[in-house]
A = this chain, B = another copy of it.
Amino acid sequence: MKQASKEFKEVVLIGAGNLSTHLGKNLYKKGYKISQVFSKSKDSANTLSKVLKAEPITDFSRIKKDSDFYFICLKDDLISKSIKKIPTLSGIVIHTSGSVNLNVLSSKFENCGVLYPIQTFNKHIKKLSFSNIPLCIEANNEFSYSSIKELANHLSENVRDINSKQRQTIHLAAVFSCNFVNYLFEIADNLLKKEKIDISLLYPLIEQTIAKIKTNAPAEVQTGPAVRNDIKTIEEHLKLLENEKKYQEIYRLLTENIINSHQK
């Protein structure tokens, strides 16, 4: 076993954003040695390196060659470009993206894989334990797979074997149920602000909305004017949105779809 002789496995983080920060902190806490943090921004590399007791680097050529794991934690659209600049490595190169295929890595690296945490990360959250975050893993060979699995099991109790096609669908579903949901909260927030009402008034409703889908399929617990086909209320709502044409368009489209999908 490649890592057997080492006491702590060594990790290089490529990227110093939200995901890299949370992943790095969780690995560090579990005893992994974070040897380097790469970022194009010197400040970002320095800041995260300090926390993780790592070496900050801003040049791809300075990535050390003998690390066990290399985590590429970059925005999806930067991954391909960055791979070209990363030197050839024998350690396991892992990306953390929901939408990028494994073959982007396997065309260059001998040992590679994916560790995609199904979670939303942002700078407002200071601490985020990985222990209950589902980690979707995939690898290009048995050695990479068993190594990534071992690391993933150290981080989380919910590790799943997910291929690139499944992962892409999970990522798409996550966009609907997290990113788009958050945008609907933004709309609600903006509407309420005009009446000087705080969105906290909706928290119990929002919590119940989540609680419901844990015991029933979402399609079974749909409520509201659309599923009741309550045309009068729908028309009143559209009228209320007369000065918010963009919100009106979203209201109309989602309502139409709920009506159609629930028509018996």
Contact = CB atoms under 8 A, between A and B. Distances in A.
Given A189-B218, A257-B250, A240 B169 contact: yes
Given A75-B230, A169-B194, A250-B253, A213 B118 contact: no
A177 B170 contact: no
Contacts of A188: 173-174, 176-177, 218
A189 B219 contact: yes
B191 A184 contact: no
Indicate the member of A119, A176, A177 with the most B CB atoms within 10 Å. A176
Contacts of A182: 209, 212-213, 218, 221-223
Given A134-B201, A240-B168, A223 B173 contact: no
Interface string A193-209: 01101011111111111
Given A213-B185, A221-B124, A253-B250, A226 B179 contact: yes
A231 to B, nearest CB: 7
Given A191-B172, A257-B246, A212 B99 contact: no
Oligomer copy total: 2
Contact of A253 (B178, B195, B253, B260): B253
Chain A interface main SS type: helix
A104 to B, nearest CB: 12
A249 interface: yes
A210 B202 CA distance: 11
Contacts of A219: 186, 189
A223 B178 contact: yes
Contacts of A128: 208
A205 B177 contact: yes
A180 interface: yes
Given A228-B75, A236-B99, A215 B124 contact: yes
A186 B261 contact: yes
Interface string A225-257: 111101111001100110000110111011001
A20 to B, nearest CB: 15
A129 to B, nearest CB: 10
A120 B220 contact: no
